[in-house]
Amino acid sequence: MSADFSEFGTVLVTGANGMLGQDLCPMLEDSGYEVIETDIDNLDITNEIQTRNVISDVKPDYVIHCAAYTNVDKAEEEQEKAELINAKGTENIAKACNANNSCLVYISTDYVFDGTKNSPYEPDDMTNPLGVYGLTKFHGEQAVQKYCPKHYITRTSWLYGHHGKNFVETMISLADKPELKVVNDQVGCPTWTVDLSDAIISLIDENADYGIYHTCGGGNTSWYGFAKEIFDQMHMDVNLFPCTTEEYPRPAKRPKYSIMDNQGCLRDWKLALKEYIELRVE
């Protein structure tokens, strides 16, 4: 697992088989980085010794930490597992990065906020997660800040990509229902994994200041607005209706307002969706 020399440096990616990892890794390679792809089969982040050994063997310039427990609803009944992966696993990564002078990029989430604000969230706004997933990801942020000073925390939201289960594909698969109701009182920023990968690569390319960044799609919408745009762009005639959160109860509570200020670092979400749909293979 040792890396060849690359003038841009070596990047170890955790959770490389996930939805983000599968877009990020080839884009890093195209940008000139030597990429070491890892996932649970060769780097289980909950195994402290394995984590330390793998990172000290590779001595990467950067670790982009995509591995996570990501099932928001199931986390409500699997709190221990979510905490082990998202908090303890991230602590293991942060300590190993610090010991090897590697810069750590941690992918976090809008679900660290409670959604009670009514203007876009800034990186230093108060966090207050509503559910287990958001709480465990927040504990991951704390571990990164405590154990690895050389870090970027990039909070993203409403992620979709060609290599994973996501809202866009779920909506398309439901298009032939006689009637489709989608929540209209939760607003946020849809983000394509390719645009997020670009933003992450820019951070490390440009040697940006360490700290927290909001890396979500530009503009904002509700889940209903997102669904409507998907069907419009797909030229699909769907019997779509807005509904309230109360009409569509889920095990995990979600923030009603999770719009983040991305400082213009990602393009408008509708433009990204258009490209995603054009490149989509049925």
Ligand X SMILES: NC(=O)c1ccc[n+]([C@@H]2O[C@H](COP(=O)([O-])OP(=O)(O)OC[C@H]3O[C@@H](n4cnc5c(N)ncnc54)[C@H](OP(=O)(O)O)[C@@H]3O)[C@@H](O)[C@H]2O)c1
* Cβ closest to ligand X, residue 162 vs residue 181: 162
Q: Is 68 a residue that touches ligand X (CB under 6 A)?
A: yes
Using CB under 6 A as the binding rule, the residues of this chain from 4 to 23 that contact ligand X are: 14-15, 17-21
Among 106, 133, 224, 276, which one carries the catalytic annotation?
133
Q: Closer to ligand X by CB, 161 or 240: give it.
A: 161
Task: In angstroms, give the least distance from the CB of 6 to ligand X.
Answer: 24
Q: Judge contact between 270 and 219, C-beta under 8 A.
A: yes
Q: What x/- string results for residues 133 through 172 when contact with ligand X is judged by CB under 6 A?
A: ----x------------------xxxx----x--------
How crowded is residue 251: how many other Cβ atoms within 10 Å of its Cβ? Answer: 12
Under the binding rule (CB under 6 A), the answer on residue 258 touching ligand X is: no
- Residues 79-138 contacting ligand X, CB under 6 A: 85, 89, 107, 109, 137
Backbone angles phi, psi at 155, to 5 degrees: -85, 130
Are 151 and 209 contacting, i.e. CB atoms less than 8 angstroms apart?
A: no
Residues forming contacts to ligand X in the complex (CB under 6 A) are: 14-15, 17-21, 39-40, 43-46, 66-68, 70, 85, 89, 107, 109, 137, 156-159, 164
